[in-house]
Structure 1
């Protein structure tokens, strides 16, 4: 289902209605994620990005865990809407968890103290690019996804459940599955207000 690069970029969007219908093999999704990890650029080639891919019941477990953590803080009368939202993410057949290895960030800060304040920023930028590459690649495979941020609320529970190293800082969660429903139109601000060119 490979698309032209520009078409894949244009077609990527937040798909909130996903289904547990395996239109792409788990092995192919693993290949996509590994490709993204190997080829996404990081400042100073730090390669601090880390990814955990959860399929099937493991993905369900993550969203049930998230629901349990949210139940502790969301008012009871508001929880049904929260639960419905989480169940929507759980409806797919997988979730990608994105982390940044803080031991690498600290190591670079120690090696190059002149840039110490920038390494956490550059780590976040690299993580954003990694998330975008995975998201666009999933779109290219015909899958729908969104990017969620239930960290740091779920961090400790995730570390305990899957044996995640303490230095791995959770930065985002991407549920994916077969896209369902209508594709919404994207509203765009005028390009002239967003891009300046000087020749």
Structure 2
């Protein structure tokens, strides 16, 4: 049995100590992200996932937006200092991929396929998961670390304005990526008997 894909999936971990010691060019990374988003499955091939890839000042701008927005939410200075340190660890990465759902396309398919209309929102989220996993695993295959954050919907309006994005693009996640400066720790797994059922 071939296990290359399973081995890559095991390599894909949440890495929080990220840096900028990256050998791939920005163009190579853009091509990698595009290729994996394009080839991730979507229902009816409706291709609802969108991605914005940020490097350099644009990458840093995103995480500054997060810090500024969270300052309005975090109750005291000590807590905000911890929050800022956490966000600065994401800012220290090489780049960020923002994942969006194109809501206009979801609505089109709801209208055009009324029998399945109640499912297209759920299916668009499943498509997001497929695209995010694919990009994340491809980064890991190339020796890069990443983690997935969800500061949406708090930052949605500021991000849309900062990068002049369509109103119909709904932010779903933020994936910062870069060189692995410290590996992930051990991963625990729940008991297989509690998770899987097999009938033969």
Q: Distance in 2 between matches of 1:127 and 1:173?
A: 12
Stretches of structure 2 lacking an aligned partner (at least 5 in a row): none
SS of 2:134's equivalent? helix
- Which residues of 2 match residues 109-124 of structure 1 at below 5 A? 109-124=110-125
Q: Deviations over 1:44-93 (max 9, x none)?
A: 11101000000111100100011000001111231001000000000011
Which residue of 1 is the match for residue 191 of structure 2? 190
SS at match of 2:149: coil
TM-score (norm 1): 0.96
State whether residues 21 and 92 of structure 1, in contact with CA within 8 Å, keep that contact through their aligned partners in structure 2.
no
What is the number of equivalent residue pairs in this alignment? 197
| 1:9 and 2:4 aligned | no
1:69 alignment partner in structure 2: 69
Aligned to 1:130: 131
Rounded Cα–Cα distance in structure 2 between residues aligned with 1:127 and 1:197: 28
Match of residue 87 from structure 1:
88
Deviation of 1:31 after TM superposition, in Å, equals: 1.4
1:1-199 equivalences under 5 Å are 4-77=4-77, 78-199=79-200
Structure 1 unaligned blocks of 5 or more: none
Following superposition, the deviation at residue 150 of structure 1 comes to 0.3
The normalised TM-score by structure 2 is 0.95
SS in 1 for 2:13: coil
Distance 1:23 1:6 in 2: 25
CA RMSD of superposed structures (Å):
1.2
